[in-house]
Structure 1
Amino acid sequence: MLDGAVRKMINPPLDAAGRQLASLGITANTVTIVGCLIGLVAAFAIWQQAYWAGLVLLLISRLCDGLDGAIAKATQSTDFGGYLDIVLDFVFYGAIPLGFVLADPAVNAVAGAVLIFSFYVNGSTFLAYAIMAERYDMHSTVRGEKSLYFTTGLAEATETIAVFAIFCIFPQSFVWLAYIYAAICLYTALSRIVIAGRMFGQR
């Protein structure tokens, strides 16, 4: 929901940084991989209950996720780069809740499993819509230049990163926050199914 507004604010500094990094010979795919690795270290820190370290690391990871697209824009974007970006995004989004589950399985396991399930369902509606949009040659730049068609929704990257940050700041509240955000993700998935039905049902 907030990605479009946030993109307008962060794209200019990201683009400037991306051009600088590209001039140093740093590739977009390298930054994508480094960002994912940092995200996995963040998940490990959360597992060890080093929540503030996990917060810093996950924010750095998402900074890399913004920079890779800026570098690609400054050089040359590739289909594989877009593919790698979305795959490793899903790795990150699954790893952070898993970190909280491992940190306290007795308390967090069920809520974490429900949250990851909601990510799975929401992600499938996002990717399936993108596949159909490609089939009908649909394009959108609402979320910036993307390799896939991005549908809007209540739960997008900005909201998810904000929720992960709140998890780290208030880890004792993980369970009920995870259930609430899982419900938001499932609502977003349902809304995409409804939109897809209206868009593709008669085609």
Structure 2
Amino acid sequence: MLDRFARPLINPPLNRLGRTLARAGWTADGVTLTGLSLGLVSAAVIAAGAPGWALLPLLASRLLDGLDGAVARATQTTDFGGYLDIWCDFVFYGAVPFAFAVLDPANALSAAFLILTFYVNGSSFLGYAIVAEKRGLSTSAQGVKSLYYSAGLLEGTETIAFLVLLCLLPQYFIPMAWVFGSLCLLTAVARVINARNLLK
């Protein structure tokens, strides 16, 4: 929901930094994989009992997640790069709730619910993208992407803010997971309804 407002603010500095990284020899895929590595480090730090310290690699990971597209635009975009980017995102988004379950077994049920809702929401997003590609639909409302990004109640901006809150307030993981997971389900249902109206 907030991505369309955040993108005009963050894209110009990201593009400048992306061009700098490209000139320094970085590849978009290298940035993507480095971002995933940092995201997994943040999950490991959470699981080890230091969610507050996990903020540093988590935020660095999300910065690189935004930079890989900027590097690609400064060099060459590829279909594999877009695929790798979305795959790494889903690995990261599954790793963080899993880490909170490892941190405290009392979190396990709410972590499982959160991962389920990420899966449900992600499938509604990717399924729509596949059919949109087949029909030649496109949008740049959330920035220039390698696949169709259907808008929703919860998008990247909201998810990053949620993960930051989890690291800052780990004692509230259970209620926050249930609330955010429920909003993920609402987002998925809205996407399915929207797809039914547009694609029938």
TM-score of the aligned structures, taking structure 2 as reference length: 0.99
Give 2:183's aligned residue. Answer: 184
Give 1:102's aligned residue. Answer: 102
* Mapping 1:3-152, distance limit 5 Å: 3-105=3-105, 107-152=106-151
* Counterparts of 1:152 and 1:180, CA distance in 2: 20
* Counterparts of 2:8 and 2:176, CA distance in 1: 28
* Counterparts of 1:87 and 1:78, CA distance in 2: 14
Query: Percent identity, aligned pairs only?
Result: 51
State the AA in 2 paired with 1:124: S
Q: Deviations over 1:169-200 (max 9, x none)?
A: 00000000000000000000000000000011
State the AA in 2 paired with 1:176: P
* Counterparts of 1:153 and 1:199, CA distance in 2: 15
Q: Deviations over 1:7-58 (max 9, x none)?
A: 1110010000000000011100000000001000000000011111111111
* Counterparts of 2:156 and 2:143, CA distance in 1: 13
* Counterparts of 1:108 and 1:52, CA distance in 2: 17
* Counterparts of 1:156 and 1:144, CA distance in 2: 12
Unaligned runs of 5+ in 1: none
* Counterparts of 2:109 and 2:51, CA distance in 1: 20
State the AA in 2 paired with 1:181: F
* Counterparts of 2:92 and 2:156, CA distance in 1: 11
Q: Which runs of 4+ in 1 moved over 4 A?
A: none
* Counterparts of 1:48 and 1:14, CA distance in 2: 32
State the AA in 2 paired with 1:161: I
* Counterparts of 2:163 and 2:154, CA distance in 1: 12
Residue-pair matches, total: 200
Give 1:198's aligned residue. Answer: 197
State the AA in 1 paired with 2:98: L
Q: Deviations over 1:133-170 (max 9, x none)?
A: 00100010111110110000011111111001000100
* Counterparts of 1:156 and 1:98, CA distance in 2: 20
